[in-house]
Structures are given as C-alpha cells and as structure tokens.
C-alpha cells in the first residue's frame, strides 16, 4: 500500500472549473455522464492529467468532443494528449457504477430503496473520474433522472433549477450550486422521502427554506432536529457574524451511514441516530447529540465548506475548529454556568478516556498527521477532540473577543480557498499581536506537529516567613510512533489556576506585585518555569488546570485532605468533579496494584475500599441542597474501567473490573438512604422536555435506581420498581435507565424486562440499537455475555451490514464491556478477529474502526497480552485485507 506523505504535497497540475453531471439512477447500474471544463495550472510543469477512480466501468472519454487515447493505471485514468496552452478544454467522461452492490457506503449507494452519497474523504471517485482532492474547487450543475414512482424526490446541492416528467414513468430534476466546492462536498439523494419545512428570515431580511427529509412515518420525529438547526443558524450569526449563505438548506436522514453526519454543501446527509427523536424513542443524551451534530454540520458551512482543507493532512483545520464551535454552541444553549460545566466535564471525559488512549497507543498521530495509508483511518478523536482543544487553547490565550477578531481575519484572508492549519493559527495570532499566542506562536504550533499527551508536573512551596507560594511547573511528553521523547520541544501550555485557603476560600492572587484576581492563567512555554505568589499567609491548596485549560495530564501530589477541600469548595465546578475522580482513581489504582502480600486490610477486604472520609464527602455532594442534579450524577459516577486502565502500566481487565465493581457496591450500600431520597426527589420530572435541568434530574434518578438495584440484590423491591418503570415510563430516558438498572445489577427480572421492551418497541430501529447495546454491555456473570452476544447475532433483527446495528452489538461488546470481552479463554479476542474479517469484506471503514478495539494490547497483563497479539496476528495474516484494516493492525503489531 502507498504511504501518502504530507510533505509531498504539490498543487494540482490541472484545475476543474465547472462540472455538469447527468445521472440515470438505477440501483443495479447507474449511468453517469460527467462534462468538465478543465484547464492547465500554469504554475505547475506540464504533465499528464491523472483522474482518480474506483469501482467504475468506463465507457467513453471525449476531449473537446472527440475521442482520445487514455490509460488506466492503478485505478487512475491517465490522459496524455491534452490541448496545450492555458485555455480551458471540455472533458467528457461516461461511466457506470453499481449502487446496490456498494456495501462500503462510500460513493453512491442504496439504503432502503433510496439513493444516497457519501463523498468525504474519497468517495466521489467511486461516482466518476475526477481530481478527487479538496483543493480542486469547481461549480457543479447536476441533472438527476429516475423512475418517478420509486424515486419521487430528487435532491442535490444548491438550488433546484428545473424539474419535470420524462417518458416511461421517469422524471428529472436539475440542480445548480452557486458556490464552488471540492468534490467531497458533492451529494445527491433520490427516493420516497417527506420533509418538515420551515421558512426563516435572516437578520438582513433574506428568506431561506429549511428542510428535514425523512422516510414517511418519521416526520413526527423531526421537530427537535429542525429546532436545533434554527438555533444553530441564529447562534452562528450572533456569536461569529456568520450568516446562512444558501437559499435552501436541507438535512436528509438515512439509517445506513458510516459516520454521524456529513456537511455536503446545502444538502447535509445524516445518520438517522442524529436526526430522529421523540420522547418515546430518544433519550436525553440522544436529544443533546442531535443538537450538537446538527450544529456541527451546519457550522461546517463556513468552517470547512467556505474555507476548506488544502489536503487531508489539514483535516483538523475544519474538524477541530468545528468541534470547538459545536461545543461552544451546546454550552451557550445549556445556559447556566453549572450546565456549561456539565457539558465541559462530558467533553473532557471523552477526550481523556478515548483521545489520551489513542495518543498513548500505536495509532498516535499529531493533530496534523505527517503520513497515512488510508485517510479514513484518520477521522480520529485526535483530529476532532484534541484538535478542538488546540483551538480552545487559542481561544483562551487571545480571549473571547480576540478569538472573534481572529475568525474575522481568517475569513477575510481565506474565504473561498483551500488552506492549512498554519493559516488558521497565523490569522488568530495576527489579529491578536499582543497576546501570548502571538508571543509564543512558533512554539504553540507544536500542538499541530507533535503527538502524545504532555504531562505537567507541578510542585508548590509555601514559605511562611516570606508569605510566598512558589509554584513550579515542568512538562514532559512521551515518545510516540516516529517521534522520540527527546526530540520533542516544549509545548505552550495555558494553566488556569486558583489557590484555596484552609477553609476552601479563594485567595487573592498577587504575581510580581500585581493583583491578578482569584483566577489566573499561567503560560508554561519552557520545559520548566516557576511563579511566586506573594501575600500568602497559610499553606494553600492549588486548583490547577481549571476546566482542563490544556489537553494534558497533571502530576501533582495532592493529599487526600487537599482533594477533599477542592471537592467541597472549589469555585471551579470542573475541578470539584476532578477532585472526586482523583480520590476514587487513586483508591482504585492502589487496590489494583496491591498483590496478595502487600495488600492492606482494606484491599484484602474489597467491600470497603473507599475510606469513610471519601464516602462522607460524596454523601455531602449527593445531599447538597444547591448543586444541580446533573453535576451530582457526574461526581457520583466512578471513573470508567478504560480510564482506570490508562493510568496503569500493566492492565488486568478483570482485576480492574472487580475493584471498580467493589467500589460501586460500597457506594450503593453506604449511601442507600441518600440514593433512595435522590430517587424519590428526582424520579418524576413532569411533562417531558429535553432541557439540561430536567435531563440532569433524570440522569441522577437513573444512577440512583441503578445503585438501589445493586444494593438490594436478593431483595426484589427495587428491581420490581425498576421493572414497573420499564413498563410505565413516559419517556425513553427513564425507560432505558430502568432497564439498564436491571441489566447492570444482573437482576432476575432483567430478561423479562428486555422481552417487554423488545415487544413494545421492536418497530423502532434506533430503539432496537439500544436494546442490543444494553445486552452487549451486560455484566459478565460466569462468562455469560459472549454466548448472549453470539445468540443475538442470529436474532432476526440483527444485520451486520447496517453500521448502527453492528456498532450496537459487536462494537459495544468489544469496546464497552472490558469485563466481558477480556476473557481468560481468549474467546472475546477470537470473536473480535472474526468480526473484523467479516466486516472487512463488507465495509472496510467499519472493519478498521472495530480493529482498533485492541489498540492497547501491549499494556495487557499475561495471559491477555499474548492472546490479543495472536488475534491481531491472525487478522494481519489474511492475504486480501483492505488497506484500512491493514494499516491499523500493522501499526498495532509495530
């Protein structure tokens, strides 16, 4: 397989100015006529035109209306005898493709008798021969022809120019997109669909038509998506001055989709999971995800579409920035400071559990990678979530207004162009010349080029005599593939902090005689720096990296007392939560590390791993009269097994599971009266509204019910209540939480409840996904999960080809159930290998995602490590593996 290198980038030898596409849509054989105006790029030495293509049948090539000679070379169509000179020439290519056979869901495919496209990153070449790279931007006109009875709705990007009937029951629609775009933003949809419509008028008085297209019957589930879209439009205009630039903006939902959604210009295509919702089928988390994904794709219209990526190494230019924008959108929509903190905690949880693990594993890569084999493997949490953190740091270094100025300059400079990550950060610095970002720009850019999660090692010295507190920060970053630790240069790390006195009160901060308030951001840009705070009269407790001001690990020897102070008093809600996480994480890792001989009495008796002081502190949070329920739920949730695993050098997944379960049981029992009170206070939230306060109450009630079922094992009272709730709950959040409580406590009522749930909701595909996932994540009572998962593979509703369904059962088992997956008999790994191979024959992108479930095999303790290696080696040994899976397993094996 070819390795693509970032530094090999050269401008295209030809530009494609206009594209006229004519489709005769037929599931078995679709005919595509592609007429382009092409001209040589005078800045590049003359060379043949090489057009990308994949799985196409080529019928005809005409240059300026006449036949021409051509070669096919490794999928590319090579044209050598093209007109000389700078004038554009007409290139006409006629091909066919087979949408019905397209199980990869890249290019043109059929789902439930409807045509869809997915062109990012390189799907357009599966539709026609083209310069399928993001820096070639063209004007598109599209003619769609299809059978009218089967495909009454014909959609493409831009504006509908003309439509009408043809002979033989066929009809046509002609679309023109007024904006130039790269091929990855092309889209078409054809099928039996209906739309929720909304007309809006922008601030400047322009009218726009918004549409959400779904299958007939799903219309009543589109209200929330439409509302989210309207909020997103208003938000981008208010916060960044970025208006909707289209007369028509369409969202179409499909149940067969590799990703979450896709920002095609004016015609976003979405996974149904991120469009369809009503209270009977969708949870609060689903509603929140819809708002965020609808926002994300809409925000791409400016950050991604108007300004796009020069090449795919710059993917984070649009994704990191757009994730940052959707996170800010969700926070602004959430409203209160507490709800913002809850959203931040949720985002950080994903970053630290998934991205930090990626950054420490074999697939680690910089936010702007240097090479790839298969670009689809680089749609990662590093590009998205770490990329968003890198943008967030810029936001913090230049301030909210400075950031808005930077965005303005970015659009002034680059609107309509395909640019690089460097171009973005340069605009941000140029718009804020006095900021620490501009001051340390070259060093800051290392966030784009150096992989790995840095650690900030902090130490503080209080000098009672001098009344000073000196904080020393030192940074380090481990080696990552292709980058040794010693070759890494210091990062620019904003460390936002406060100091608390013994009573937990915020201390005024004085640096070099200057009063800087009670919260301040230090900029660590050297390997080690120290700051001395004056006027400090007693030993302070530092609250460091507030709101996770940088995507780093913090190494500071907190005492238990310090953490308890932070948990009880810190003004930064994020660090209050973080203190609780640190307390339980430390207890868990100590208990896991303790061998039989060195174990303390507590560790030998895992019923009481948490000391009374910690239990009491958590009780105070749970009973707290002012704290929001959503925040309580986060504080009372122990760090996940995968997060605990990341803190350890040698991972025994069963030991982690049993220690965490013991801690969970202890909390369930020790706080039983408080759980009961919390449940009773929050179980009924009135008429369903998917908003943060009510959602937080439902979340806490759900956790409480879980704990009550766990504590009351054997006595069926709470299980009985949970079962009743599965039957009666008026919304999916309460229903799913109750079902989960039964499943997670391995209640004898779980199977009845699962049956009931299935019978009631079997006609709702997105709910069935939940039903499969709940079972795949069930506790592994005597090795029961794998056989249950295997039985579910044979369930009539299970379809491996459908990505959502595959994710719900196979991916959940392999990624989200460590206790059930890491088996002593290696059967989980064998199952994994079988499914990576099975999926690879259907859909390589999906297979490669699943392949990453064993990324961290090198950290596993014996005998898991060797068994995992064998399973990976078995996959790698398969001769006709896709490039996607090949790249992942080759990197895993090193």
Residues that bind Zn ion (CB under 5 A): 319, 322
| Binder of residue 120, out of ligand DPP, Zn ion, none (CB less than 5 to 8 A by kind) | ligand DPP
Choose between 274 and 718: whose C-beta lies nearer to ligand DPP.
274
Packed helices 717-728 and 750-761: angle between N→C axes, nearest 10 degrees: 0
Cβ closest to Zn ion, residue 319 vs residue 646: 319
378 or 723: CB nearest Zn ion: 378
- Report in angstroms how near the CB of residue 121 gets to ligand DPP at its nearest: 8
Q: Which stretch binds ligand DPP (CB under 6 A): 197-205, 295-303, 473-481, 864-872?
A: 295-303
> Is there a contact between 744 and 755 (Cβ–Cβ < 8 Å)?
no
Shortest Å, Cβ 127 to ligand DPP? 17
**Which of Zn ion, ligand DPP, none is residue 308 near (CB under 5 to 8 Å by kind)?**
none
Cβ proximity to ligand DPP: between 262 and 588 the closer is 262
Q: Which does 734 bind (CB under 5 to 8 A by kind): Zn ion, ligand DPP, none?
A: none
Give helix 883-893 / helix 864-876 axis angle, nearest 10°: 140
Among residues 20, 263, 291, 297, which one is catalytic? 297
Tell me if 733 sits within 8 A of 288, measured CB to CB.
no
Alpha carbon distance 193, 214 (integer Å): 5
Q: Does 262 bind ligand DPP (CB under 6 A)?
A: yes
> In terms of Cα–Cα distance, which of 269, 267, 304, 265 is closest to 106?
269
The residue range among 30-38, 149-157, 162-170, 256-264 that interacts with ligand DPP, by the rule CB under 6 A, is: 256-264
**Which is nearest to 882 in space by CA: 852, 831, 845, 835?**
845
- 52, 135, 263, 326: residue in contact with ligand DPP (rule CB under 6 A): 263
CA distance 21 to 108: 13
N-to-C CA span, the chain = 16
Shorter beta-carbon distance to Zn ion: residue 319 or 780: 319
C-beta separation of 197 from 222 below 8 A: no
Count, residues in the chain:
894
Residue 259 interacts, among ligand DPP, Zn ion, none and using kind-specific CB cut-offs from 5 to 8 Å, with: ligand DPP
Nearest partner of 832 among 809, 866, 802, judged by Cα:
809
Q: Answer yes or no whether residue 319 interacts with ligand DPP by CB under 6 A.
A: yes
By CB under 6 A, tell whether 291 contacts ligand DPP.
no
Q: How far apart are CA 86 and CA 94, in angstroms?
A: 25
Judged by CB, which is closer to Zn ion: 268, or 706? 268
Q: How many C-beta neighbours within 10 Å does residue 507 have? A: 18
Give the span between the Cα atoms of 886 and 879, in whole angstroms.
10
In angstroms and rounded to an integer, the radius of gyration of the C-alpha atoms of the chain is 28
Instruction: Considering the complex, state which of residue 292 and residue 740 has its C-beta at the smaller distance from ligand DPP.
Output: 292
- Phi, psi dihedrals of residue 203, rounded to the nearest 5°: -60, -30
Q: Which of 581, 590, 605 is nearest to 662 (CA)?
A: 605
SS3 letters for 259-305?
CCEECCCCEEEEEHHHCCCCCCCCCHHHHHHHHHHHHHHHHHCCECC
Beta bridge partners of 79: 49
**Residue list 91-150, contact with ligand DPP (CB under 6 A):** 120
The CA distance from 783 to 821, in Å, is: 9
Q: How far is the CB of 304 from ligand DPP (least distance, A)?
A: 7
Judged by CB under 6 A, the chain residues 547 through 566 that form the site for ligand DPP are none
| Residue 17 is a catalytic residue | no
For the CB of residue 309, give the shortest distance to ligand DPP in the complex, in Å: 10
CB atoms under 10 Å from CB of 92, counted, come to: 17
Between 262 and 550, name the residue whose CB sits nearer to ligand DPP.
262
- The one of ligand DPP, Zn ion, none whose footprint includes residue 565, by CB under 5 to 8 A per kind, is none
CB nearer to ligand DPP: give 378 or 772.
378
CB 572 → ligand DPP: shortest distance, Å? Answer: 30
Q: Is 747 helix (H, G, I), strand (E, B) or coil?
A: coil
| Mask for 826-865, x = binds ligand DPP (CB under 6 A) | ----------------------------------------
CA 68 to CA 62: how far, in whole Å?
Answer: 6
Q: Which of 70, 50, 47 is nearest to 132 (CA)?
A: 50
Nearer to ligand DPP, 296 or 392 (CB): 296
Q: In what order do the strands lie in the sheet with 114-118?
A: 107-111, 114-118, 188-191, 153-156
- The helix-helix angle for 672-682 and 692-711 (nearest 10°) equals 140
Q: Binding to ligand DPP (CB under 6 A): which residues in 589-608? A: none
CB of 240 to ligand DPP, least distance (A): 18
Q: Is 54 in the site for ligand DPP (CB under 6 A)?
A: no
Pairing of strands 188-191, 153-156: antiparallel
Phi, psi of 164 (to 5 degrees): 175, -175
- Of the two residues 174 and 296, which places its CB atom closer to ligand DPP in the complex? 296
Question: Residue 297, interface with ligand DPP (CB under 6 A)?
Answer: yes
- Give me the least distance between CB of 391 and Zn ion, in Å please: 13
CB 739 within 8 A of CB 753: yes
- Per partner kind, with CB cut-offs from 5 to 8 A, the member of ligand DPP, Zn ion, none near residue 262 is ligand DPP
Instruction: Tell me how far, at minimum, the Cβ of 608 lies from ligand DPP, in Å.
Output: 46
Give yes or no for residue 749 binding ligand DPP (CB under 6 A): no
Q: By CB under 6 A, which span of 10-18, 259-267, 514-522, 734-742 interacts with ligand DPP?
A: 259-267
| Closest residue by beta carbon to ligand DPP | 262
- Is residue 91 classed as helix, strand or coil in its secondary structure? strand
Which option in ligand DPP, Zn ion, none does residue 328 bind, with CB closer than 5 to 8 A by kind?
A: none
Query: Nearest distance from residue 424's CB to ligand DPP, in Å?
Result: 17
Residue 20 interacting partner from Zn ion, ligand DPP, none (CB closer than 5 to 8 Å by kind): none
Q: Of 744, 671, 753, which is closest to residue 713 (Cα–Cα)?
A: 744
d(CA 66, CA 90): 10
Compute the least distance from the CB of residue 296 to Zn ion, in Å: 6
Q: Considering the complex, what minimum distance in angstroms separates the CB of residue 319 from Zn ion?
A: 5
Q: How many residues bind ligand DPP (CB under 6 A)?
A: 9
Nearer to Zn ion, 211 or 303 (CB): 303
HEC sequence for 703-745: HHHHHHHHHCCCCCHHHHHHHHHHHHCCCHHHHHHHHHHHHHC
Q: Which does residue 261 touch among ligand DPP, Zn ion, none (CB within 5 to 8 A, set by kind)?
A: ligand DPP
**DSSP letters along 142-159, please?**
EEEEEETTT--EEEESSE
Query: Minimal distance in Å, beta carbon 300 to ligand DPP?
Result: 6
200 touches, from ligand DPP, Zn ion, none (C-beta below 5 to 8 Å by class): none
Instruction: List the one residue from 79, 226, 261, 889 that touches ligand DPP (CB under 6 A).
Output: 261
From ligand DPP, Zn ion, none, interface partner of 256 (C-beta below 5 to 8 A by class): none
**Nearest alpha-carbon partner for 873 in 847, 837, 824, 819:** 837
Contact 291, 354 (CB under 8 A): no
Binding mask 213-252 for ligand DPP (x = CB under 6 A): ----------------------------------------
Positions touching ligand DPP (CB under 6 A) are 120, 259, 261-263, 296-297, 300, 319
Positions annotated as catalytic residues are 297
């Amino acid at each position: 397989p070819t390795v693509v290198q970032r530094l090999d980038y050269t401008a295209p030898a030809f530009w494609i100015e206009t594209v006229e596409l004519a489709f005769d849509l037929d599931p078995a054989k679709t005919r595509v006529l592609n007429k382009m105006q092409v001209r040589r790029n005078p800045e590049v030495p003359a060379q043949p035109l090489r057009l990308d293509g994949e799985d196409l049948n080529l019928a005809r090539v005409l240059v300026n209306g006449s036949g021409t000679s051509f070669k096919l070379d490794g999928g590319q169509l090579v044209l050598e005898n093209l007109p000389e000179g700078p004038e554009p020439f007409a290139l006409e290519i006629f091909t066919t493709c087979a949408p019905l056979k397209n199980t990869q869901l890249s290019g043109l495919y059929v789902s439930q008798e409807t045509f869809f496209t997915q062109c990012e990153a390189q799907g357009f070449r599966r539709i026609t021969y083209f310069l399928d790279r993001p820096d070639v931007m063209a004007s598109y006109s599209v003619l769609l022809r299809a059978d009218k009875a089967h495909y009454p709705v014909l959609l493409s990007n831009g504006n509908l120019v003309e439509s009408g009937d043809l002979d033989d029951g066929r009809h046509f629609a002609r679309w023109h997109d007024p904006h130039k775009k790269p091929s990855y933003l092309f889209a078409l949809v054809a099928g039996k669909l209906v739309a929720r419509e909304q007309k809006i008028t922008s601030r400047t008085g322009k009218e726009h038509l918004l549409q959400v297209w779904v299958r007939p019957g799903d219309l009543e589930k589109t209200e929330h998506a439409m509302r989210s879209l309207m909020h997103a439009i208003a938000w981008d205009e208010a916060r960044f001055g970025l208006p909707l630039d289209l007369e028509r903006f369409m969202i179409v939902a499909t149940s067969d989709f590799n990703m979450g959604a896709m920002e095609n210009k004016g015609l976003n295509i979405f996974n149904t999971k991120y469009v369809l919702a009503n209270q009977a089928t969708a949870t609060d988390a689903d509603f929140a995800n819809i708002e965020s994904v609808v926002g994300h794709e809409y925000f791409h219209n400016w950050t991604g579409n108007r300004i796009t990526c020069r090449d795919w190494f710059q993917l984070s230019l649009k994704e990191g920035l757009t994730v940052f924008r959707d996170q800010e959108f969700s926070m602004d929509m959430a409203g209160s400071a507490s709800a913002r903190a809850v959203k931040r905690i949720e985002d950080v949880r994903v970053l630290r559990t998934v991205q930090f693990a990626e950054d420490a594993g074999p697939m680690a890569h910089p936010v702007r990678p240097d090479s790839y084999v298969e670009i689809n493997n680089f749609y990662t949490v590093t590009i998205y979530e770490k990329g968003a953190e890198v943008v967030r740091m810029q936001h913090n270094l230049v301030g909210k207004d400075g950031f808005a100025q930077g965005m303005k300059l970015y659009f002034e400079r680059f609107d309509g162009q395909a640019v690089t990550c460097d171009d973005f950060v340069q605009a941000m610095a140029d718009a804020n010349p006095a900021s620490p970002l501009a001051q340390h720009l070259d060093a800051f850019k290392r966030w784009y080029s150096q992989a790995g999660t840095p650690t900030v090692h902090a130490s503080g010295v209080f000098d009672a005599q001098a009344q000073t507190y000196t904080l020393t920060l030192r940074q380090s970053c481990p080696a990552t593939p292709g980058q040794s630790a010693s070759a890494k240069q210091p990062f620019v790390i904003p460390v936002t902090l406060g100091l608390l006195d013994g009573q937990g009160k915020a201390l005024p901060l004085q640096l070099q005689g200057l009063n800087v308030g009670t919260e301040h951001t230090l900029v660590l840009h050297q390997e080690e720096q120290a700051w001395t705070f004056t006027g400090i009269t007693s030993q302070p407790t530092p609250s460091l990296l507030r709101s996770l001001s940088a995507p780093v690990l913090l190494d500071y020897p907190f005492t238990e007392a310090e953490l308890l102070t932070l948990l009880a008093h810190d003004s930064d809600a994020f660090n209050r939560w973080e203190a609780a996480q640190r307390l339980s994480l430390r207890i868990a890792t100590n208990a896991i590390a303790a061998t039989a001989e060195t174990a303390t009495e507590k560790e030998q008796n895992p019923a009481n791993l948490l000391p009374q002081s910690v239990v009491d502190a958590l009780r105070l949070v749970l009973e707290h009269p002012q704290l929001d329920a959503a925040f309580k739920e986060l504080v009372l949730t122990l760090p996940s097994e995968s997060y605990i695993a990341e803190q350890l050098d040698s991972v025994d997944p069963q030991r982690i599971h049993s220690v965490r379960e013991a801690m969970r049981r202890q909390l369930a029992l020790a706080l039983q009266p408080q759980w009961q009170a919390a449940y009773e206070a929050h179980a009924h939230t009135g008429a369903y509204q998917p908003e943060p306060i009510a959602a937080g109450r439902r979340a806490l009630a759900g956790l409480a019910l879980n704990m009550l079922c766990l504590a009351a094992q054997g006595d069926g009272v709470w299980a009985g209540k949970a079962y009743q709730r599965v039957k009666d709950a008026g919304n999916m959040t309460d229903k799913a939480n109750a079902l989960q409580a039964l499943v997670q406590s391995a209640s004898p009522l779980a199977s009845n409840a699962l049956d009931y749930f299935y019978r009631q909701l079997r006609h709702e595909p997105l709910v069935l996904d939940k039903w499969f996932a709940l079972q795949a994540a069930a506790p592994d009572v005597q090795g029961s999960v794998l056989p249950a998962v295997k039985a579910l593979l044979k369930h009539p509703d299970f379809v491996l080809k459908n990505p959502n369904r595959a994710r719900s059962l196979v991916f959940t088992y392999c990624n989200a159930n460590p206790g059930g997956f890491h088996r002593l008999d290696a059967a989980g790994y064998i199952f994994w290998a079988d499914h990576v191979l099975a999926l690879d024959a259907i859909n390589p992108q999906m297979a490669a995602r699943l392949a990453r479930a064993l990324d961290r095999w090198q950290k596993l303790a014996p005998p898991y490590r060797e068994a995992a290696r064998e399973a990976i080696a078995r996959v790698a040994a398969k001769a006709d593996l896709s490039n996607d899976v090949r790249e992942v397993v080759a990197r895993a094996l090193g």
